[in-house]
Amino acid sequence: MDPERAAADRVISSVAVIGAGTLGAQIAAMCAASGRDVRLFDIVPGASDNALGRLRSLLEPVIARGALDWDLDAVLARIVPAATLGAAVARADLVIEAIREHLPAKREIFSTISVMNATALLATNSSSIPSSALADVVVDPTRLVNLHFFSEFWDRAAVELMGCGATSDETMRKMADFGRSLGLFTAVVRGESKGFIINRVWRAVKREALAVVDGGHADPEDVDRLWALFWGIGYGPFGMMDQVGLDVVADIEDSYIAVSSDPTDHPSPALHALVDAGKLGEKSGEGFYRYPDPAYRTPGWPRAGSPSETPPL
Ligand SMILES: NC(=O)c1ccc[n+]([C@@H]2O[C@H](COP(=O)([O-])OP(=O)(O)OC[C@H]3O[C@@H](n4cnc5c(N)ncnc54)[C@H](O)[C@@H]3O)[C@@H](O)[C@H]2O)c1
């Protein structure tokens, strides 16, 4: 068998994760838990070692409540901090990039990695950058994909897979198998979709929820009460936006609006008024709700408690 074909057929047994932040650490843990050897690299010295400590405190309670059936020591032992990018990617079958959301930085990383390891599969965990924006800097874009994981994978056991336009069927099949091997529902995006699948659907929910409030038709809490009762879940879109962070939500909304062809798609006054006032949601103590005890976390909500004031007819 020729070496290229042998490389294409290689099983993914060794993974390099680049970026040891919130998502990089969790991706490394999932890969290690699936029995793979993981090399973790971060540009900040010591960040990969810190990530191992963070993972321990994050995952111990999750394992204690039975949400994961892991031997944590064995999982963490399979994650090896790498001193250099080269050491991380040299023998990897798959490189997963999870550095900050900055296109020039990601392009630089991918151009470097694809020369350092000419046969590895390459994936970006970016939330908003399509892999097509990285395809021209890699040696072989047939091996390049978006692989979009979710934070707190034990509760959100899914990943979205999207090609770069030049990705081979073989790579898509291998990456879909890889996602499933992590125990994740692996959703394959056909073609290119801004926001992949769930973030695009979530964007439509946010936009309409904000439009209802901006139009004066309902208060945020009443939208959330209806949503929660209708779908049988514990909070609605405004509670969710507060948890994400309203500054982050506003940035994401702006990125959709910038490429929207819909003339009614414009920044939400209600959202921007809160951001301008420094009310960024849960992290700042106030957003659409007040924290640490927002209405949606009181027992019996959304049915009980004081409903929003009835507006004059
Ligand atoms: N946080 C989330 O919920 C979430 C969910 C899905 C996808 N993502 C995506 O994952 C990526 C990382 O997000 P995060 O929340 O983990 O960010 P983060 O800020 O927690 O971590 C990013 C890490 O990358 C490191 N880094 C930056 N530049 C680097 C470089 N050139 N080489 C190596 N390391 C570098 C930083 O030191 C930091 O430790 C982003 O693309 C983001 O869109 C995040």
SS3 of 205-272: HHHHHHHHHHCCCCCHHHHHHHHHHHHCCCCCHHHHHHHHCHHHHHHHHHHHHHCCCCCCCCCCHHHH
Instruction: Kindly report the pTM of this predicted structure.
Output: 0.89
Residue 21, sorted as left (phi over 0), alpha (psi -120 to 50) or beta, turns out to be beta
Structure tokens at 177: 């198998």
pLDDT over 70 at 3, yes or no = no
Rounded to an integer, the average pLDDT of 258-286 is 95
Strands 185-189 and 121-124: unpaired
129-133, 222-226, 293-297, 302-306: range with lowest mean pLDDT: 302-306
Rounded to an integer, the average pLDDT of 56-71 is 97
105-114, 291-300, 302-311: range with lowest mean pLDDT: 302-311
Atom of ligand 1 nearest to the CA of 24: 16
* Ligand 1 binding pocket includes 163 (Cβ within 6 Å): no
Residue 93 has a CB neighbour count (10 Å cut-off) of 20
Rounded to an integer, the average pLDDT of 38-50 is 98
Strands 121-124 and 158-163: unpaired
**Residue-level pLDDT at 6:** 46
If one residue of 30, 100, 243 were mutated to test the ligand 1 pocket, choosing by the most ligand atoms within 8 A of its CB, it would be 100
**Residue-level pLDDT at 73:** 98
Residue type, 67: A
Cis peptide before 312 (omega within 30 of 0): no
pLDDT over 60 at 84, yes or no = yes
Give ranges for CATH 1.10.1040.10 in the chain: 199-297
Residue 169 has a CB neighbour count (10 Å cut-off) of 9
Report, at the CATH architecture level, how domain 199-297 is classified.
Orthogonal Bundle (1.10)
- One of 3.40.50.720, 3.30.460.80, 3.30.160.20, 3.40.50.300 is the CATH number of 3-189, namely 3.40.50.720
Rounded to an integer, the average pLDDT of 191-211 is 96
* Ligand 1 binding pocket includes 89 (Cβ within 6 Å): no
* Ligand 1 binding pocket includes 125 (Cβ within 6 Å): yes
Give ranges for CATH 3.40.50.720 in the chain: 3-189
Per the DSSP assignment, residues forming a β-bridge with 79 are 38
Mean pLDDT computed over every residue of the chain? 93
